[in-house]
């Protein structure tokens, strides 16, 4: 390797190290900011949680038979407790129903109906493909300006950050009940998702779908497809 090649290689290494350092600084800064911003909005005990008109239940995986995963079942059970204890009046179930063969939201609805929730109090968002879409659509499509977000603790901080930046007054209730097994991996992945959410908010990204407005105070049947 001649002198010029060595010089080019050295410059490449220096630039790579600088970019890596900047990436670490940006990621760390965003994570610190989101942690601090969401800290006071996160609740573990229902009794300490402010009451709101709506609870947003974020979707998660369901099996081919429509059985909720541990993550989703814990969220639904927490939503059920909020509803029974009259902390909320409406449940907005937001998840992935992008294809005929995969349907989170109707299976979420069936789970709650089987446990006594009035169908008039259940609204479905079929295009809640991710956390950002769920929260933006909760405001833009369903007219939600204040809500309790139901999810696992590692996920709630991102959701609360997005909600606040989108002008929605939100509180988070921790739904963790089960031993999820892969939680360490999910927590590490979530740190990167925080960065994605930060820039989605920064550029004011549009949701994948918008559609007809369905006020959360109105007729829930308008949100059903079956």
Neighbour tally for 89: CB within 10 Å: 15
C-alpha to C-alpha distance for 20 and 175, rounded to whole angstroms: 35
Question: What are φ and ψ of residue 134, in 5° steps?
Answer: -60, -45
Q: Are 76 and 111 in contact (CB under 8 A)?
A: yes
**Which of 19-23, 28-32, 112-116 shows the highest mean pLDDT?**
112-116
Say what the pLDDT of residue 14 is: 77
Here the tokens at position 205 are 């990204």
Residue whose structure tokens are 């059985």: 67
Span between the terminal Cα atoms of the chain, in Å: 69
Here the tokens at position 196 are 């994605």
Average pLDDT score over the chain: 90
Task: Give how far Cα 30 sits from Cα of 35, 90, 101, 196, 207, Å.
Answer: 9, 32, 37, 10, 22
Say what the pLDDT of residue 31 is: 79
State which H helix or E strand residue 150 sits in: strand 146-151
**pLDDT (tens digit, 9 = 90+) per residue, 67-122?**
999 999 999 999 999 999 999 999 999 999 988 889 999 999 999 999 999 999 99
Residue whose structure tokens are 């977000």: 149
Q: What percent of the chain has pLDDT over 70?
A: 96
Identify the structural domains of the chain with CATH numbers, from first to last: 40-223 (3.40.50)
Task: State the average pLDDT over residues 167-175.
Answer: 97
Say what the pLDDT of residue 3 is: 62
Task: State the average pLDDT over residues 151-163.
Answer: 94
Parallel, antiparallel, or unpaired for β 146-151 and 54-58? Answer: parallel
> Which stretch of 8-17, 71-80, 99-108, 146-155 has the lowest confidence by average pLDDT?
8-17
pTM above 0.85, yes or no: yes
Question: What are φ and ψ of residue 153, in 5° steps?
Answer: -60, -45
> Which stretch of 11-25, 34-48, 60-74, 118-132 has the lowest confidence by average pLDDT?
11-25
Task: State the average pLDDT over residues 138-162.
Answer: 96
What 8-state DSSP symbol labels residue 49?
S
Q: What percent of the chain has pLDDT over 90?
A: 66
Residues recorded for the chain:
226
Say what the pLDDT of residue 98 is: 86
Strand, helix or coil at 211?
coil
Strand, helix or coil at 43?
strand
């Amino acid at each position: 390797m001649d002198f010029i090649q060595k010089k080019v290689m050295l410059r490449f290494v220096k630039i790579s190290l600088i970019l890596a350092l900047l990436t670490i600084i940006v990621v760390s800064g965003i994570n610190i900011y989101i942690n601090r911003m969401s800290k006071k909005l996160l609740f573990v005990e229902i009794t300490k949680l402010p009451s709101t008109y709506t609870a947003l239940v974020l979707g998660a995986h369901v099996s081919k038979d429509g059985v909720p995963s541990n993550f989703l079942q814990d969220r639904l059970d927490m939503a059920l407790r909020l509803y029974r204890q009259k902390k909320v009046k409406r449940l907005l179930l937001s998840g992935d129903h992008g294809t005929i063969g995969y349907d989170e939201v109707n299976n979420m609805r069936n789970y709650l109906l089987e446990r006594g929730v009035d169908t008039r109090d259940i609204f479905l968002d079929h295009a809640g493909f991710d956390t950002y879409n769920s929260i933006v659509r909760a405001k833009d499509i369903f007219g939600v300006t204040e809500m309790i977000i139901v999810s696992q603790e590692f996920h709630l901080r991102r959701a609360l950050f997005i909600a606040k930046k989108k002008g929605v007054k939100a509180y988070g209730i921790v739904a963790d009940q089960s031993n999820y097994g892969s939680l360490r991996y999910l927590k590490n992945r979530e740190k990167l998702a925080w960065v994605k959410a930060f820039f989605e908010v920064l550029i004011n990204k549009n949701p994948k779908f918008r559609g007809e407005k369905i006020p959360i105070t109105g007729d829930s049947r308008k949100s059903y497809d079956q």
